[in-house]
Structure 1
């Protein structure tokens, strides 16, 4: 590791200031990645420090186990979180995620990590109250590590290779777990072919969060209509170029749907049909000729097919589900956490 050592001040506070001046932070204080801390972060990984995980666009920087560990130290991770970070990075580097596009676009996209399986309880990831908010070390530090890697290794510096017009808070950290205990349907990773007892991380190109507040609907149909109407954002990338819109259904909304026997596929089909927007409301340049609605050629759907919708359950008590718009030109990827 000696060839990667760089001189830094001895004083702890001076080290933090020095790291800021190097451009290696996200603007918040970080833990200095000393050799001892980086080595401790790699304990138990079972891979050599120089083992390559991949090249991170758009700069195509080299992400080795050691480099990932250094960023994990800065983000405040525990060593036990390293397999989650490595699996998430491997998923982001999958060609179908289009990390180059999400890193360099003017869109406000950030990678959202969704955890499933035993790892959620083992490492104490938040799936309930305030699951997108602060106060949970696993969620905050794992999501932050990924974004530090995208910045420090991939070169996604604002105004340079990261050309996002406005960005979003998810570029600091964006990590959640699914509330499988209150999910009346199959968990996300089971839908994607994994066993329930496997731990996975899914990376999704998220365009932000839209709160869907419905405290009045008493029937499944009324609730689904509210959800579908809320997805009609004319200037979102979904109706413009497609993608995989994500809904995080709160447990109370999930209960209303499940007690009337609504399946995930039925919910997807309903949302797909009733979130369509009249083609006449779009400028000619926005027409998407590749989309063929099932019943009405004069309406533009939010995504290519109903199957494109991703539906998970998350959050605590209260009737607030969440709509997470998609970047569009990217697909979510799931990896097992080993």
Structure 2
């Protein structure tokens, strides 16, 4: 199903497919060869010799077309039946509501931001606003939504892979003066629903993947388990700058206070609970021990690419680190040197791939060439690969660790472009 729908989105609705009977990881090499030479070869021959049935394309409605009229309940039922919502109630995207969102950007509604896969649909300012309305966002969030989609369509992020079986979810990180202006939560319950900006913008991400990109469960989205949309993570910039560290935005090459959006795919998120200790170095050691349990870090070795794990520490942890003289770069270097994984902890099949990569010279040099099982290997290729963000309860010593899948969802940061009349528009909505 996924292959057929993806091919249709790429303009090849009749493309034949060959399907292996069952999962390839559950058969021996001999069985795999037999399946290829038997059932799958027959499918290849049929695909090359039998004309497939014709399948046409359905015209989509224009952006100002009224597709349905009814009560709030009827609209929600209609959208649910057509797979335009994820099952939660949506805000009906009336023309009036969409135009309220468009007031908060100086961009043309028809401006194309990029191409969206798997449906090969254009990302436009207009459909960003529509999905923002549906997700329960406020009109003043519009500049943030546009920046998110600009990051999404950046080739470095590779959004077209987000229908893969690990069911990767994306973490959205925001920085800048807009955190206070828009009411983002960056303190206690930083990743908990309950704050409109963090929650509705997080919902927008998944809504846009459904409606604009075309990722639908049981169809183009093949996440084995999948996950919910992630609440937007805002950095506690007051704590960061107050203790002398650069913000995440500065790490990405921007100035302190710049309004920014970073997206990064976190296939796995885990929490290190109570890593606190009077010794800052012991705190880092405690965090590194938890990193070793997060095996997805190792994925970058299979693809010859970099993975950038995200480590979210609280201001309480930051305080101990800075008081004992630890810079952010020194912390990264400690993570790099000590956050390692023992080869023997990998599954048998993955170990075989690991050593195959060593034999063929495909892996980074720091992995070495030893064929031993009881040795520790690096999780990243450079200290700078670690993304460190400060957020969460200022009085707790917990850490959140997010790991990606290497070539899928590489971190991308984009500036948020506020409209020229931003201050006046913001004052207007606050008086209503």
Compute the TM-score of the two structures, normalised by the length of structure 2.
Answer: 0.74
Distance 1:146 1:291 in 2: 34
Distance 1:68 1:306 in 2: 36
Number of the residue aligned with 2:422: none
Out of 85, 89, 105, the position equivalent to 1:45 is: 105
**Could you tell me how far 1:213 is from its partner in structure 2?**
1.1
Out of 209, 214, 217, the position equivalent to 1:158 is: 217
Number of the residue aligned with 2:123: 63
**Could you tell me how far 1:6 is from its partner in structure 2?**
3.9
Distance 2:232 2:309 in 1: 17
Out of 233, 245, 258, the position equivalent to 1:198 is: 258
Number of the residue aligned with 1:237: 296
* Alpha-carbon spacing, 1:216–1:63, altered in 2? closer, same or farther (3 Å): closer
2:331 paired with 1:263? no
Number of the residue aligned with 2:269: 209
Q: Note if contact 2:275-2:399 (Cα within 8 Å) is conserved in structure 1.
A: no
The 5 A counterparts of 1:247-326 are: 247-282=311-346, 283-287=351-355, 289=358, 290-293=363-366, 298-316=375-393, 317-326=395-404
Distance 2:192 2:405 in 1: 21
1:211-265 deviation per Cα after TM superposition (whole angstroms, max 9, x unaligned): 111255111111011000100126x321132510000011111111111111111
Secondary structure, counterpart of 2:201 in structure 1: helix
Out of 389, 405, 411, the position equivalent to 1:332 is: 411
What RMSD over aligned residues (CA atoms) do the two structures have, in Å?
A: 1.8
**Could you tell me how far 1:278 is from its partner in structure 2?**
2.6
Out of 205, 220, 237, the position equivalent to 1:180 is: 237
Secondary structure, counterpart of 2:62 in structure 1: helix
Q: Note if contact 2:167-2:222 (Cα within 8 Å) is conserved in structure 1.
A: no
In structure 2, stretches of 5+ residues that fail to align are 1-60, 301-305, 418-432
Distance 2:180 2:405 in 1: 30
**Could you tell me how far 1:209 is from its partner in structure 2?**
2.4
2:121 paired with 1:121? no
Distance 1:28 1:121 in 2: 28
Q: Note if contact 2:236-2:391 (Cα within 8 Å) is conserved in structure 1.
A: yes
Size of the aligned set, in residue pairs, is 333
2:194 paired with 1:135? yes
Number of the residue aligned with 1:8: 68
Q: Note if contact 1:110-1:174 (Cα within 8 Å) is conserved in structure 2.
A: no
Q: Note if contact 2:276-2:397 (Cα within 8 Å) is conserved in structure 1.
A: no
Structure of higher CA gyration radius: 2
Distance 2:256 2:148 in 1: 19
Secondary structure, counterpart of 1:58 in structure 2: coil
Secondary structure, counterpart of 2:100 in structure 1: helix
2:167 paired with 1:108? yes
Distance 1:11 1:89 in 2: 31
Distance 2:333 2:367 in 1: 11
> Is 308-317 or 204-213 further displaced after alignment?
204-213
* Alpha-carbon spacing, 1:272–1:71, altered in 2? closer, same or farther (3 Å): same
Structure showing greater relative contact order (alpha-carbon pairs closer than 8 Å, 6 or more residues apart) = 1
Q: Note if contact 1:97-1:332 (Cα within 8 Å) is conserved in structure 2.
A: yes
Q: Note if contact 2:276-2:317 (Cα within 8 Å) is conserved in structure 1.
A: no
Q: Note if contact 1:109-1:207 (Cα within 8 Å) is conserved in structure 2.
A: yes
Q: Note if contact 2:266-2:404 (Cα within 8 Å) is conserved in structure 1.
A: yes
Segments ≥4 residues shifted beyond 4 Å: 294-298
Compute the TM-score of the two structures, normalised by the length of structure 1.
Answer: 0.93
1:277-313 deviation per Cα after TM superposition (whole angstroms, max 9, x unaligned): 2334432223454223288965321111111000010
Q: Note if contact 2:191-2:232 (Cα within 8 Å) is conserved in structure 1.
A: yes
Distance 1:286 1:106 in 2: 21
1:163-198 deviation per Cα after TM superposition (whole angstroms, max 9, x unaligned): 1111122xx243111011112310011122111131
